[in-house]
Structure 1
């Protein structure tokens, strides 16, 4: 009888739904995981919340005004967007910055992901596509509920998300705890809560880093 291979550990990705490099990093991770699965290395995946803009108003802000103030000019913002778009194309992703009207607060998005259970990975992907490719407001609870359903999230999780307080404190505490633990950039990757690396590195480098991390942790446990 066929049995599923034992996992190589709990691989967790620290991420924010408005981080473009996190979407690129996920694409590279998916490619790396596909390669590693062919070698018999599979992981139990999870996503951890990180707020890049913890002081963002609950309703979000106009993206152009926010980015102009943050970077000193709209032209500088466009220059940075173009750089991200180029990196995205190399990873097979199409950024549509022209459709992105608002910069949202991401607490609600993190709540959705936390409540998604086994659909976490699919929900995260749907959020990235909704924001970066479709220009949807992922700070809006009704929009998020629709996206969760589209990604295959269970009714139980969606019902819990409808409770505006469900896992809110946990999300805030996790984000703060990760920041206090030294996480300052996303995406960051943890294997069995051991920090591995940060950044949207190419899939081959990511796969190599995961191979080496598994080997080290297994040797320590032997």
Structure 2
């Protein structure tokens, strides 16, 4: 087992309801394996971005929302098919037909923030993605969030207590605003040592090359 210390940190700016963010997570995992073969390791931290910052806190009916956004149910269905196919290419089995709500994701991001503080962020992010895209979970619902966070290793009582108040709300909103102020307009976006490198769920080998090149540039600057 490789016990080398991480060389630096990759920051992922994402939203839990972005399918390309889940696909990008799989590509990132493969990219990290590739750079580790080159004896380079990174830690990963997840940061909030709301695709729908004006979404009501209770969310909305998904079919109605997408009808307004895309103009027709047929167009919505075609997009879901395209995304499902892309997900299958990285080993993910999406069931978007199970989704009935488009949620507000503020509370989901608060859970991810808490997971980061407890050293369980990757597992909790994975549980939220899987719950939403594969099982149709309403991740705008506090009970659902607590259940999924528990799957990722968090204490359900701690999550429930956190969600019953405003803990982390200001920080999540502030981080979302900071991402936009840095020029990020789409997710997933990836940064290395605080430097935004690219956006989009690009193939793992391209990700690995970008991380390797960026790390070499940063290392040379520091020399």
Equivalent residues of 1:116, 1:157 under 8 A apart: no
Deviation at 1:33, TM superposition (A): 0.8
Deviation at 1:38, TM superposition (A): 2.4
Structure-1 residue corresponding to 2:61: 62
SS in 2 for 1:164: coil
Structure-2 residue corresponding to 1:211: 212
Deviation at 1:68, TM superposition (A): 0.3
Partner deviation per Cα, 1:107-130 (whole Å, 9 max, x = no partner): 000000001021111111111100
Equivalent residues of 1:116, 1:154 under 8 A apart: no
SS in 2 for 1:51: coil
Partner deviation per Cα, 1:6-65 (whole Å, 9 max, x = no partner): 322111100000000000000100111122222221112100000000000111111000
Q: Please say if 1:78 is aligned against 2:60.
A: no
Structure-1 residue corresponding to 2:193: 192
Deviation at 1:155, TM superposition (A): 6.6
Deviation at 1:210, TM superposition (A): 0.8
Correspondence 1:172-183 to 2 at 5 A: 172-183=173-184
Moved over 6 A (4+): none
SS in 2 for 1:116: helix
Structure-2 residue corresponding to 1:152: 153
Counterpart CA distance in 2 for 1:30 and 1:3 is: 16
The two structures have a TM-score, normalised by structure 2, of 0.94
Counterpart CA distance in 1 for 2:211 and 2:110 is: 28
The two structures have a TM-score, normalised by structure 1, of 0.95
Counterpart CA distance in 2 for 1:9 and 1:156 is: 33
Partner deviation per Cα, 1:125-159 (whole Å, 9 max, x = no partner): 11110000000000111111111111112578536
Structure 1 residues 159 and 78: CA distance shift in structure 2, 3 A: closer
Q: What runs of 5+ residues in structure 1 fail to find an aligned partner?
A: none
Partner deviation per Cα, 1:164-219 (whole Å, 9 max, x = no partner): 20110000011011112100010000111101111001111111111111111111
Q: What runs of 5+ residues in structure 2 fail to find an aligned partner?
A: none
Counterpart CA distance in 1 for 2:210 and 2:91 is: 22
RMSD: 1.6
Structure-1 residue corresponding to 2:144: 143
Counterpart CA distance in 2 for 1:64 and 1:163 is: 29
